[in-house]
Homo-oligomer: A and B are copies of this chain.
Amino acid sequence: MPSRADLESLDRADPLARFRDLFALPEGVIYLDGNSLGAQPRQTAARLAEVVEREWGRDLITSWNRNGWIDYPARLGGKVARLIGADADEVLVCDTTSINLFKALTAALDQRPDRRVILADRANFPSDLYIAEGLARRRPDATVRLVEETELAGAIDDSVAVVTLTQVNYKTGYLHDMAALTRAAHEAGALVVWDLAHSAGALPIDLNGAGADYAVGCGYKYLNGGPCAPAFLYVARRHQAKIDPPLPGWLGHAEPFAFDTDYRPAEGMRRNLCSMPSILASAALEVGLDLMLDAGIYALRTKSLALTETFIRVVERRCPGLFDLATPRDPARRGSQVSLRHPEGYAIVQALIARGVIGDFRAPDILRFGFAPLYLRHTDAFDAAEALAAVMEREEWREDRFRQRALVT
């Protein structure tokens, strides 16, 4: 197990160290929930004030052209593209993860009229399954088949139109092999929709390298775009012209300002735009994206793995036998989080929060710790593990106040 001095020296040598000061993090808090809600870039408030007072307040309606509001979906899409191995004209920032998933699954089903199965793993984020089920319930040519995560690759047969899965499992942090699963799907004649909610900004993604078809993701986790930031949608260029948008939007029309009665889809990616995202929310997301691009995704991944490795090692040494590690020990299969199983997980997380270490709990027994490498220090990983050891040693989690559940956990 590394000593705290080892980690202090890693912090001193950290090429990403300067980014921490660009985020507002409360004194005395170790924030390990950036996989749920990314931290707040200090610059965001000033940028929002500018958008509100100068762009909205002074330039008013002329901002659509003058301040580039109309370009937000494509401009931010181009920035997201650089993080996920896509070309700029393959990504739009718009709508929400669920809505974008609905579009992607619809497009994939349309492309495979002779197949009816949407294949998903049971461990996928539930709302992704809800969208898939909702879609299948209303399409006579579709049904959802759920399998265990480990059985996914073997379950892709010639009835499968599309496989939908989240690259990093939200509970366990398990990282799917995007290239291998995409290949397996294509070999079986199926398409794939990747949900990058827990991987975009956390690790290098190479959608085009993997030959991916569709992808969606959100802006408020590792991208630090603010609570419920706009989402993104990726469509591989080769699929774009085939898409008949199920949610045809005004600005996805070939000529929005002709105000035609009939819908004619725009060329290329823009047809997938249903609604313009909030301009305030888009401006905030751009601040987060710019920081991420400045840091560089390979440097972030290197640090991320060091952080999760430190946390795992210190917990294993200081809390031997107390937790099951739900996250893969193999770094190649690990996202940017560490999840531990314990039947008293809820209370333990609350006791940790009281000590200033903010993680979260996912039923029935998962303690979840996200390590956002952009603003966490190596010593934070060490100190968080030590705090967990103290909570366990002193049995602090037994206190009543830690056992009462709040609505949002």
Residues on A facing B (Cβ under 8 Å)? 24-26, 29, 31, 33, 36-37, 39-40, 44-45, 48-49, 52-53, 56-58, 60-65, 69-70, 95-99, 102, 106, 122, 126-127, 129-131, 133-134, 137-140, 146, 226-230, 244-250, 253, 257-263, 274-281, 284, 358, 360, 362-363, 406-409
Distance, CA A69 to CA B406, complexed state (A): 14
Distance, CA A409 to CA B258, complexed state (A): 10
Distance, CA A248 to CA B137, complexed state (A): 11
Residues of B within 8 A of A245 (CB): 134
Shortest distance in angstroms between A155's beta carbon and chain B's nearest beta carbon?
A: 16
Distance, CA A45 to CA B46, complexed state (A): 10
Contact call A126/B260, Cβ cutoff below 8 A: yes
Distance, CA A324 to CA B318, complexed state (A): 82
Can you give 12 contacting A-B residue pairs, CB < 8 Å? Answer: A39-B57, A40-B60, A69-B227, A95-B99, A96-B275, A102-B247, A126-B253, A140-B140, A228-B275, A229-B278, A258-B363, A277-B278
Contact call B52/A45, Cβ cutoff below 8 A: yes
This chain: how many copies in the complex? 2
- Which of B29, B129, B229 interacts with A261 by CB under 8 Å? B129
Between A65, A69, A229, A250, the greatest number of chain B beta carbons within 10 A of the residue's beta carbon is seen for A250
Shortest distance in angstroms between A368's beta carbon and chain B's nearest beta carbon?
A: 11
Shortest distance in angstroms between A94's beta carbon and chain B's nearest beta carbon?
A: 10
Contact call A65/B227, Cβ cutoff below 8 A: no
Contact call B31/A99, Cβ cutoff below 8 A: no
Residues of B within 8 A of A62 (CB): 358
Shortest distance in angstroms between A225's beta carbon and chain B's nearest beta carbon?
A: 9
Residues of B within 8 A of A244 (CB): 137
Shortest distance in angstroms between A210's beta carbon and chain B's nearest beta carbon?
A: 27
Residues of B within 8 A of A102 (CB): 247
Contact call A57/B36, Cβ cutoff below 8 A: no
Contact call A279/B227, Cβ cutoff below 8 A: yes
- Which of B139, B280, B409 interacts with A280 by CB under 8 Å? B280
Distance, CA A330 to CA B91, complexed state (A): 48
Contact call A60/B358, Cβ cutoff below 8 A: yes
Residues of B within 8 A of A259 (CB): 126, 362-363
* Residues A37 and B24 in contact in the complex (CB < 8 Å), given A275-B98, A278-B280, A408-B65: no
Distance, CA A213 to CA B26, complexed state (A): 47
Distance, CA A274 to CA B56, complexed state (A): 28
* Residues A56 and B40 in contact in the complex (CB < 8 Å), given A275-B228, A407-B65: yes
Distance, CA A151 to CA B120, complexed state (A): 48
> 4 tightest A-B contacts by CB?
A96-B275, A127-B250, A278-B281, A227-B279
- Which of B48, B226, B248, B275 interacts with A97 by CB under 8 Å? B275
Chain B residue at smallest Cβ distance from A405: B257
Residues of B within 8 A of A131 (CB): 247-248
Chain B residue at smallest Cβ distance from A72: B228
Residues of B within 8 A of A133 (CB): 248, 262-263
